[in-house]
Every structure is written in structure tokens, then in C-alpha cells.
Amino acid sequence: MRMKGLNAHGIYQIRMTPGNFVLLGTAVMIDEESGNPIKLMGPYSNKPWEAPYSEFVDYHSGKILRGFQYWKNMKDIFLDYVDHPESKFDGDVGILSRKEIHATSFIHIGKEANRIEETMVLGVDEDDIETYTADEDRRDKEIQRIKADPRSVSYRQAGLAGVSRSTLKRWRKEQRTM
């Protein structure tokens, strides 16, 4: 379990347990040994402004660190937000238009996504990633077969191939008008 490794140092003041609140800092520096960002994690305090002056644990390496240089201040966070590049729209100035997106594949995420909030804050480990990808060639061939003869499959069979009920109805209607 992650907390065991993080508490291996045995220092009571910075012990953390699952279910307890913790203070987290935004990664500002990269660990030279591992190449991972230094993710700051310390025990919860009613005085979060004291956190940069207290000991904390690097979430990835488990090293105990201390120092203001590891923490990102609110001014920098705000300026990064204002200057971040636009990813949903085309253009830089004025009224922007939405970017066109073309899906090339689908990834199905199951119940394993229940730790999404934790991974957003603490990062993703190799153990956290569980995705199920469809065999695209086989799936595309099946969809083309269904589109060619939509009356030969049930709604359930179409759904298993990734074709929605409304799409199957539309294909059936198009076939009737031909």
C-alpha cells in the first residue's frame, strides 16, 4: 500500500494514513534521480501557510524534504492559468471557433475509474491504469457489415458492436429509401 512506503521514515509529525486529510502541493521541481516531478504531501494542518516551512514527503520517492523552493505560490499558479494555451478552440485572438475532433478509436473505462480524483492530485502509477481497448480492425469490419445490412442484426447485437440504437434506426431507414 502507498501509505506504508510513505510512512516508512517513522517520523510521527509527518505520518499519514488512508482516509485522513493531507496537504498537497503543486509539483514545481523534478527529482534528478528518478526524473519524476516532486509531489509534495504532508499531514493536514489548520495552518496551511506553514506547510512550506515544515517537513513533507515526496509522494513518488518517499524522501523527506523541507523548503520553500519546492512549493508553488498562488501568484505563479494564477499567471500559469492566465497564460495557458487554448486547447479546445482554434485561434488566438477574438471570437474563437471550436476545434474539430475526429475520433480514431474508443477506450472503455470500467469501474477502475473510481480513483480518478486521487490520481488527478497524486498522479498515476502503472498499477492505476486499467483500460480495455477494442480490436479496431475487427470492430470496424463488424460495423461495416451492420451498416451494409442493418436489418440482419438486433439492437442488442448492434450495441455490442458499438452502434447506438438511433444509428441503427437511421441506417435501417436509409436502406428502405434506397
Q: Where are the domains of the chain?
A: 2-70, 134-177
In angstroms, the Cα distances linking 126 to 17, 63, 119, 131 are 22, 20, 11, 12
User: How confident is the model at residue 90, as a pLDDT?
Assistant: 83
Q: What is the mean pLDDT of the chain?
A: 76
The candidate with the shortest Cα–Cα distance to 43, out of 67, 78, 12, is: 12
User: How confident is the model at residue 103, as a pLDDT?
Assistant: 77
pLDDT, tens digit, 9 for 90 and up, residues 6-41: 556 555 455 666 667 888 887 788 888 888 888 888
- What is the average per-residue pLDDT within 47-61? 82
% residues pLDDT > 90 (the chain) = 2
User: How confident is the model at residue 64, as a pLDDT?
Assistant: 82
1 pLDDT band, cuts 50/70/90, is: very low
Spatial CB neighbours of 164, under 8 Å, sequence gap ≥ 6: 158
Whole-structure pTM value: 0.41
What is the DSSP-derived secondary structure letter of residue 30? B
Max mean pLDDT range (58-62, 132-136, 161-165):
161-165
116 pLDDT band, cuts 50/70/90, is: low
pLDDT, tens digit, 9 for 90 and up, residues 133-147: 556 667 778 888 898
Q: Which cell goes with 36?
A: 519524476
- What is the average per-residue pLDDT within 70-97? 81
Judge contact between 6 and 17, C-beta under 8 A.
Answer: no
User: How confident is the model at residue 118, as a pLDDT?
Assistant: 65
Q: Per-residue pLDDT for 108 more than 70?
A: no
